[in-house]
Chain A
Amino acid sequence: QVQLVESGGGVVQPGRSLRLSCAASGFTFSSYGMHWVRQAPGKGLEWVAVISYEGSNKYYGDSVKGRFTISRDNSKNTMYMQMNSLRVEDTAVYYCAKGNNSPGHWGQGTLVTVSS
């Protein structure tokens, strides 16, 4: 069965960096696009970024463009999100999700807290 496990969350100060990982299993990882979606406390779902199956195409939400970088290593069945210049408003649960055009199956999420 499809399994997605996020890791790398934690508490970080504003302006610092953090890298999230999403380990995938139960499907042919290299055949699917992958997404990051987040939910800030008390807020709705916000799409963050998507990467194509082979990693050549990447799109970002306006709020993270220029600060976050999505990547993947198909040999390790893992997707990443490098988050730089973190802001208090980046505090959220970050989910990874499988899907070429849209998020289908989701992981349980990892909490990122940006606070001084």
Chain B
Amino acid sequence: QSVLTQPPSASGTPGQRVTMSCSGSSSNIGINTVNWYQHLPGTAPKLLIYSNNQRPSGVPDRFSGSKSGTSASLAISGLQSEDAADYYCATWDDSLKGYVFGTGTKVTVL
């Protein structure tokens, strides 16, 4: 099982703000930066946030990330129907000497 824990689901109506958490430990989130990925089944995952809170070009500013201690969070403001997807946090784990993904959060737009 993953060393990064995320809630299995989150939901909201169009226009609402949705947040999701990512809980890790001192060997991963505590000492390394966090990335977030958006994944629609059958497509290539997309890097949404890197280095805790940076957006690659082309990613809307509705998406924002933050990190505090051994936890991180992703927020989607002004939720849109196309935001319905699976979201994964990820980071390097110094103890495992490997990259680790969170368990994933499925976002539903009601």
Please list the residues of chain A having a beta carbon within 8 angstroms of any beta carbon in chain B. 35, 37, 44-47, 50, 59-62, 95, 97, 101-109
Contacts and interface: CB of A to CB of B under 8 A. Distances in A.
A101 B92 contact: yes
Contacts of B86: 44
B99 A45 contact: no
B96 interface: yes
B47 A108 contact: no
Interface residues of B, number: 25
Consensus secondary structure, chain B interface: strand
A45 B44 contact: no
A-B interface, 10 closest residue pairs, ranked by CB to CB distance from nearest: A44-B104, A106-B44, A47-B99, A45-B101, A106-B45, A104-B47, A108-B44, A102-B35, A45-B88, A61-B98
Contacts of B102: 44
B96 A45 contact: no
A101 B2 CA distance: 19
Contacts of A105: 47
Consensus secondary structure, chain A interface: strand
Nearest to B97: A59
A95 B46 CA distance: 12
Contacts of B46: 106
Nearest to A105: B47
A109 B39 CA distance: 13
Contacts of A102: 35, 50, 90-92, 99
A93 B37 CA distance: 17
B2 A108 contact: no
A101 B34 CA distance: 11
B43 interface: yes
A60 B44 contact: no
Contacts of A95: 44-45
Given A95-B45, A108-B43, A47 B50 contact: no
B21 interface: no
